[in-house]
Structure 1
C-alpha cells in the first residue's frame, strides 16, 4: 500500500503544480498535500523525493531560485503536453472506449473523460474529425445500460477521498428487501465498475473474520456517506485485481468455490465463444457435451447463467446450487403451467 500512497501523492503534486504559474516552495506543496489528502503530517524531504521521482520518470518539472526561495513548477515542455495529435483510427478507438464508460456519467471519473475528449476535439484538424464522424455512422456500441450516478456524486467523492486517506466511512445503506437503510461503518479499499454499475470494495468494520469481512457494496444503495475521524490500515497482502479475479461476478460475502456444470453439445460452443471466467476449465465429453468448471463466490453468480441456457445446462455440483436451481425450475413450472 506504500507504493499506492506514493503514486497518489505524486499525482496530487502534478495537479497542484498545473494550477501554478510562478511555482511553489517545497513547504507550500507539502501543506497543500496535507490539506487535500487529509494527512496528519508529511516531511518536505518526502515531497522532494516525489518531485525527483517525477523528473526521473520524464515529467518536465523545474526548480529555480526566486525572491521567495527555490520554487518548483511545471516546465515549458509540460505546458505543451495538452497539445494532442491523434489519427482518425485512434480517435475511433477512443470514442468506443468513451461509449463503454457511459455508466460513469455523473461521477468524478466522467468529468475527466469528458475533459480529455473535449481537448481532443479542439485540437484535431477538420478533415480527421469529418472522417471520424462518417466512420462512427457505421460503427455502434450497444449493450451499455443508460445509467447515471449524478445523485450519488457526493457519496462517491467521499468514498474516493476516504480510500486515499484510509479513513473509516459511516454509511446509510439499504439492502434489497429491507424496509429501511441501516447505518454501517466500512473501510473502503477500491471502486469497481461491473456491468454498468459501480461497487465499493470495502471491509465491514463490525466483522472480524478476515476471509468474510470484505464485501462489495453497490453505490445505488448508498443513501449517505460520511468520512469519520477514524483511520484504518489496509491489509498488506490485499490486491484488488486478485481479489476480483477469484469469482466470475461481483459477490464477495462468501469464500469462492468450484461449480461444475454440464453443457450440452448444442450450447458448448457458446461457453467457448463467451467465457464465464478467464480461468474456467472445459472438459470435452464423448457425446459432444462439456463439463464446465468455474469459480464463484455465490450461487446467484451461477444460477442466472444456467437458467438462461434452459435445458442445455445442468448444475452437477455443489449440491446446494443444484437444489436451488431445481427449486426455481419447480416454481417456474407452476407459474407457467398450462391448464
Structure 2
C-alpha cells in the first residue's frame, strides 16, 4: 500500500482549499496547487473540473495570467450534505488537528479526519467554507515531546515490555538510569506522562516524557496488574502528582473570579458552596498539596485557603518569599 497516498487530503478538503485560494484572489495554477495539496496534476485538474461542472462554480483558466480564477464573486462553497453528528465532529476534528500539529498524535488525527471528511452521507446541508471558521482551540504551554521517545514507550506499553531510559528529575543536573514496566501514557495539562512500575524503587512512578532520554526496549515481558487503572491512579491528584495523603482542601474565592471557578470542573471530588456576595467556597479531596498550592497562587488575592493548616503555612512561606522579591 502507498502510505503517502493513504494520507493524502480528502477531496472535500482539497476543494475547500482551492475555493479559499480563488476567493481571496491568489494566483492559482496547477503547479502551486500540486505543492500545496501534495497531489498530482491529474488530481488537481479533476478537482477543478468537478468544482466547475458538478458544483457549478464560475471557474475559468485565464491564459493571460496562466492561472485559474473566479469570473464572479463567490461567497460560500456549495452545500455538502452531512448528518448533524458528522458536522460537529468535522468542525472539532479539523480545529483539534491544527492544535496538535507537531505532537505525536498529529499523523493519526490527520488520517482520522481524512476518513471523516471523505465519508460524508446525505442528511442535512451546511457550507463548510463558512462553518469551519466557527470553532477554534487554544492551549497555553503545549508540552514538547520527542517523537522517537513517544513511539518507543507507546510500543512498550502496548506489548507490555520493560524499558530502560535516562530520567532527569526537576532541579537535578544529571539524569539517572531507570528500568520500568510501562503501564500507561497519559496527557495531563498539555504534557505527556508515563506511568510505570520502577523496578529499582519497587513502586509506581510518574515520568514526564520531555525529561526521558535514550529509551531502550529490553524485550522482557511483564503483566500489567488487572486492578490498575489511570482513573484510580490520578484520582487524588489535582493534575498529575498524587500522593499517599488524604487532605480536605477548602478554598474561598471572591466574587471577582467565582464565575470562572463555577464554569469548570477542576477535580472529580470538588464540592461548591455559594457564599454571600457571590463569593464561592470550593472543597477538594487530594493526596498531595504541591499542585493545589501552585493553583491557588495563580488566583492571587482572589483565593484564600481555609484548610488544611499545612497548606496555609506553605502559602504563608511562599508569599513571604515573594514579598521579599518584589519589595
TM-score between the two structures when normalised by the length of structure 2: 0.65
Shift in Å at residue 108 of structure 1?
5.2
CA contact (8 A) 1:88 1:131 kept: no
Matched, 1:216 2:206: yes
Q: Deviations over 1:277-299 (max 9, x none)?
A: 13301234456544321133332
C-alpha contact (below 8 Å) 1:171/1:226 kept by paired residues: yes
Q: Deviations over 1:13-43 (max 9, x none)?
A: xxxxxxxxxxxxxxxxxxxxxxxxxxxxxxx
Distance in 2 of aligned mates of 1:218 and 1:106: 18
Counterpart of 2:281 (choices 285, 291, 301) is 291
Q: Distance in 2 between matches of 1:101 and 1:260?
A: 38
Aligned-pair CA distance for 1:202: 1.3
- Counterpart selection for 1:166 from 157, 160, 167: 160
Which one is further off, 198-207 or 106-115? Answer: 106-115
Q: Indicate conservation of the 8 Å contact 1:105/1:148, yes or no.
A: no
Structure 1 residue corresponding to 2:179, chosen from 164, 167, 185: 185
After superposition, the Cα gap between the structure-2 partners of 1:175 and 1:308, relative to the gap in structure 1 and judged at 3 Å, is: same
Structure 1 residues 282, 119: CA separation in 2 closer, same or farther (over 3 Å shift)?
A: closer
One of 261, 268, 274 as aligned partner of 1:271: 261
Compared CA separation, residues 311 and 159, structure 1 to 2 (3 A): same
Partner of 2:229: 239
Matched, 1:176 2:170: yes
Equivalent position SS for 2:269: coil
Q: C-alpha separation between the residues in 2 aligned to 1:238 and 1:176?
A: 26
Flag structure 1 segments of 5+ consecutive residues without an equivalent: 1-84
Aligned pairs, how many?
245
Cα 1:284–1:144 shift into 2, 3 Å: closer
* Equivalence for 1:249: 239
Structure 2, unaligned runs of 5 or more: 1-80
After superposition, residues 1-339 of structure 1 pair within 5 angstroms as 86-87=82-83, 90-100=86-96, 104-106=100-102, 109-122=105-118, 131-143=127-139, 145=141, 149=145, 152-208=146-202, 213-255=203-245, 257-285=247-275, 289-337=279-327
Bigger Rg, structure 1 or 2: 2
Aligned counterparts of 1:296 and 1:101: Cα–Cα separation in 2: 33
1:236-272 residue CA offsets vs partner (Å, 9 max, x unmatched): 2112223223322111354453212222344433322
Distance 1:292 1:124, change over 3 A: closer
Q: Residue 169 of structure 1 contacts residue 187 of structure 1 at CA under 8 Å; is this kept in 2?
A: yes
TM-aligned CA distance change 1:91 to 1:272, over 3 Å: same
CA contact (8 A) 1:168 1:231 kept: yes
Cα distance per residue 1:220-250 (max 9 Å; x no partner) = 1111211113333322211222322332211
Aligned to 1:79: none
* Secondary structure of the structure 1 residue equivalent to 2:105: helix
Secondary structure of the structure 2 residue equivalent to 1:302: helix
* Cα distance in 1 for residues equivalent to 2:93 and 2:244: 33
